[in-house]
């Protein structure tokens, strides 16, 4: 009796294992393309130099608000999410050539970018801030005169700084392609001021013992998911964002990653 049961047990377990293996391999096949040729993997790109929106932990894993949101979106769509790390100023080009399906990278939905890509509805809004060393005497826009100001290449802050330079006060400008490098430049006194999104600036200020002040001139649009022009994902993702707003999911992610402004 005992023997019989254990035999049945063995067979059942083997069958389960086989089933699990079979399930796994067919899932992998499905992940790349389903029967109707539809893509089951969604390729997202980001510039993982922008905590708390996107960065890498010590093991190199992506983390942050945008990463959680992208995973949520992919889950809701029933896709597997793949993330590529790129320089921020290469993201729009990657969308235009359709090398990727979407971008979540703290990207502000500007009219200029809308000429080349489509955006979802905005999921977060952050103003801009100027960051300085703690003992700096730069406290207002006027104090920027003759100083050197750093921005990340391809960001709205690069455009914004050019505008301030032209209209308000003259300074030297330096654009680097990585926002962590930007902070390093500030800490090593290669620049006097760094100009970036407020939510990100606040984190660096706290973490690195820096100082800063709000940009009174900025009225930038909020952050949104970007897609290749005409992508069918736009409507689907808007629907998901709407649900996330209504269900409190979006607020949950904000509470997890972002500070009150
Ligand atoms: N919000 C700014 C922009 O859209 C900066 C975004 C930078 N993002 C990043 N992951 N480095 O231009």
- Give the chain's length: 261
Same domain? For 44 and 109 the reply is: yes
* Residue 112 included in any domain: yes
Alpha-carbon span 55 to 49, nearest angstrom: 5
Strand bridging mode 55-56 / 62-63 = antiparallel
Instruction: Look at the chain and report how many structural domains it folds into.
Output: 2
Residue 161 belongs to domain with CATH number:
3.40.190.10
Q: Work out the pLDDT band at 16, boundaries 50, 70, 90.
A: very low
Identify the pLDDT of residue 83. 98
Identify the pLDDT of residue 10. 44
Identify the pLDDT of residue 39. 55
Secondary structure of the chain in HEC code, one letter for each residue: CHHHHHHHHHHHHHHHHHHHHHHHHHHHHHHHECCCCCECEEEEEECCCECCCEEECCCCCEECHHHHHHHHHHHHHCCEEEEEECCHHHHHHHHHCCCCCEECCCCECCHHHHCCEEEEEEEECCCEEEEECCCCCCCCHHHHCCCEEEEECCCHHHHHHHHHHHHCCCCEEEEECCHHHHHHHHHCCCCCEEEEEHHHHHHHHHHHCCEEEECCCCCCCCEEEEEECCCCHHHHHHHHHHHHHHHCHHHHHHHHHCCCC
With a 6 Å cutoff on the Cβ, whether 227 touches ligand 1 is no
Q: pLDDT per residue over 154-188, tens digit each?
A: 999 999 999 999 999 999 999 999 999 999 999 99
Identify the pLDDT of residue 38. 59
Examine the pLDDT at 202 and tell me if it is beyond 80. yes
Same domain? For 71 and 185 the reply is: no
Q: pLDDT per residue over 142-159, tens digit each?
A: 999 999 999 999 999 999
Same domain? For 197 and 133 the reply is: yes
With a 6 Å cutoff on the Cβ, whether 107 touches ligand 1 is yes
With a 6 Å cutoff on the Cβ, whether 128 touches ligand 1 is no
Q: How far does residue 4's CA lie from ligand 1's centre (Å)?
A: 65
Same domain? For 179 and 210 the reply is: yes
Q: Work out the pLDDT band at 126, boundaries 50, 70, 90.
A: confident
Mean confidence (pLDDT) of the chain: 88
Chain-centre distance of CA 114, in angstroms? 18
Q: Domain range spanning residue 165?
A: 128-214
- Ligand 1: nearest atom to the Cα of 155: 12
Identify the pLDDT of residue 111. 97
């Amino acid at each position: 009796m005992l023997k019989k049961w254990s035999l049945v047990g063995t067979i059942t377990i083997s069958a389960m294992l086989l089933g699990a293996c079979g399930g796994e391999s067919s899932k992998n096949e499905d992940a790349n393309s389903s029967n109707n040729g539809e893509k089951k993997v969604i390729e997202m790109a980001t510039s993982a130099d922008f905590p708390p929106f996107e960065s890498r932990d010590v093991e190199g894993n992506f983390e942050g608000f945008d990463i959680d949101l992208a995973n949520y979106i992919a889950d809701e769509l029933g896709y597997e999410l793949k993330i590529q790390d790129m320089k921020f100023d290469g993201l729009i080009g990657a969308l235009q050539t359709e090398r990727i399906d979407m971008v979540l990278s703290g990207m502000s939905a500007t009219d200029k970018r809308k000429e080349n890509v489509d955006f979802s509805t905005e999921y977060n809004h952050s103003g801009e801030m100027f960051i300085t060393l703690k003992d700096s005497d730069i406290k207002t826009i006027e104090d920027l005169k003759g100083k050197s100001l750093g921005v990340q290449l391809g960001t709205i802050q690069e455009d914004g700084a050019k505008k301030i330079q032209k209209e308000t006060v003259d300074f030297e400008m330096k654009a680097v392609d990585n926002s962590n490098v930007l902070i390093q430049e500030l800490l090593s006194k290669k620049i006097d001021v760094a100009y970036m999104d407020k939510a990100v600036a606040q984190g660096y200020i706290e973490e690195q013992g820096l100082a800063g002040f709000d940009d009174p001139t900025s009225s930038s649009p909020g952050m949104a998911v970007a897609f290749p022009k005409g992508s069918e994902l736009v409507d689907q993702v808007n629907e998901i964002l709407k649900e996330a707003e209504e269900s409190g999911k979006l607020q949950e992610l904000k509470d997890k990653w972002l500070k009150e402004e």
